[in-house]
Amino acid sequence: MNMYYVYILESSKTQKFYTGVTDNLKRRMREHNSGNSDYTYWSGPYNLIWYGAFKNKEKAYQFELYLKSSSGFAFRNKRLI
């Protein structure tokens, strides 16, 4: 059974947060920190701040979208980080 992970990273360089989804969290962290990610290559290294595991791919992507919304942003700041 595949698991899908919604994760929040913090840039050590800018102290900004990045939210994403993956089915392999260790590999994705390596990609972010080695500069092999289009959106984060310029601001690494990154620290993993939070992650949640989902059995359902669609639910993981829905939660990622929620975290990127204005109400999800507030939830993230109050409850997850």
pLDDT in tens, 27-38: 999 999 998 888
pLDDT band with cut points at 50, 70 and 90 for residue 72:
very high
**Residue ranges of the domains in the chain?**
4-80
Q: What is the pTM of this model?
A: 0.93
d(CA 29, CA 36): 10
The per-residue pLDDT for 44 is 86
Strand partners, 8: 19, 50
Kindly report, residue by residue over 9-59, the tens digit of the pLDDT: 999 999 999 999 999 999 999 999 998 888 787 888 999 999 999 999 999
What fold characterizes domain 4-80?
GIY-YIG endonuclease (3.40.1440)
Token readout for 77 is: 């700041």
Q: Beta partners for 29?
A: none
